[in-house]
């Protein structure tokens, strides 16, 4: 027996594909443009990191990728991943451009691995073409919000890398993190509309996802500030702790 999708399902799928394609294209274009425009600033940040630049970037790549792999389902189609937490930590240290590339790559690669049945989260392969579009859409899901949050951080006078563990720096990182969360939810609302979520379900998803992020925000702020006071060794310790806590939370969630 052949199952033929209804006109409504086909229309919803076309809308979802268009959203992922549009968001991914806009996000990729913005990231590529800012990589060129802010090339001098990016080089200055790397020079300011000094001899620990390579190790710092490696730690953040591993941290972001691990958190992306350890995501868990919030609904049948929406996942909770602590990629925003990793991005908030990276933003004041690496700057918005490098942070965006790392966060997008970590999320997109974890999705590609799921398509190939590798890792803890595996795609059901019911619509591989949409899975690939969803991976491309991560340029919008993470890229656009990180650039928005990074812009807010710069407008508040934030420096990269953050050089002092002060309440002022903590406040800037917190506001930038909340801006990042806001932009991410704006982007995701378009996807949820295509999924035909009811307003009540969208509100529920927003409150749960937002609450989880807000609970991790102090961790992200402290991890970022630890670099200013203790250096790259502190980042390694915080990253290990963060991944371990996420692993425990995921196991509790999947077993319940």
Q: Where are the domains of the chain?
A: 17-40+52-255
User: What does the pLDDT read at residue 123?
Assistant: 77
User: What does the pLDDT read at residue 173?
Assistant: 97
User: What does the pLDDT read at residue 254?
Assistant: 54
pTM of the complete model: 0.89
User: What does the pLDDT read at residue 73?
Assistant: 64
| 121 Cα distance to chain centroid | 17
Domain 17-40+52-255 class in CATH: mainly alpha
Per-residue pLDDT of the chain (256 residues; tens, 9 = 90+): 333 344 456 677 888 899 999 999 999 999 999 999 999 999 999 999 999 999 999 999 999 999 888 776 655 555 667 889 999 999 999 999 999 999 999 999 998 998 888 866 777 777 888 889 999 999 999 999 999 999 999 999 999 999 899 999 999 999 999 999 999 999 989 888 888 888 898 898 888 888 888 989 999 999 999 998 898 999 999 999 988 887 776 666 555 5
For 16-47, the pLDDT digits (tens) are 899 999 999 999 999 999 999 999 999 999 99
User: What does the pLDDT read at residue 196?
Assistant: 81
CA geometry: angle at 207 spanning 67 and 224, to 5°? 40
Is residue 59 packed enough to be buried (19+ CB in 10 Å), middle (13-18) or exposed (0-12)? buried
Q: Which two tokens stand for residue 161?
A: 């890398």
User: What does the pLDDT read at residue 68?
Assistant: 86
Residues 6+ apart with CB under 8 A from 67: 81, 82, 83, 85, 86, 106, 242, 243, 246
């Amino acid at each position: 027996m052949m199952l033929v999708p209804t006109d409504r399902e086909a229309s919803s799928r076309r809308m979802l594909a268009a959203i992922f394609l549009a968001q991914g294209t806009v996000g990729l274009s913005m990231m590529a443009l800012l990589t060129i425009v802010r090339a001098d600033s990016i080089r200055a940040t790397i020079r300011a990191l000094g001899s620990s630049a390579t190790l710092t970037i490696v730690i953040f790549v591993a941290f972001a990728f691990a958190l992306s792999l350890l995501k868990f389902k919030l609904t049948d189609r929406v996942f909770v991943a602590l990629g925003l937490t990793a991005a908030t930590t990276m933003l004041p240290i690496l700057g918005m451009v490098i942070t965006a590339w790392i966060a997008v790559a970590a999320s997109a690669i974890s999705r590609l691995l799921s398509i190939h049945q590798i890792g803890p989260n595996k795609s059901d392969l019911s619509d591989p073409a949409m899975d690939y579009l969803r991976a491309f859409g991560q340029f919008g899901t993470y890229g656009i919000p990180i650039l928005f949050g990074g812009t807010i951080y710069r407008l508040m006078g934030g420096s990269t890398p953050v050089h002092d563990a002060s309440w002022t720096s903590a406040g800037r990182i917190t506001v930038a993190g909340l801006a990042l969360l806001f932009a991410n939810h704006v982007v995701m609302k378009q996807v949820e509309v295509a999924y035909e979520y009811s307003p009540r379900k969208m509100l529920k998803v927003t409150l749960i996802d937002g609450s989880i992020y807000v609970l991790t925000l102090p961790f992200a702020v402290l991890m970022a500030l630890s670099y200013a006071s203790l250096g790259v060794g502190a980042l390694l310790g915080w990253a290990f702790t963060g991944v371990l806590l996420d692993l425990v939370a995921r196991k509790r969630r999947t077993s319940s």
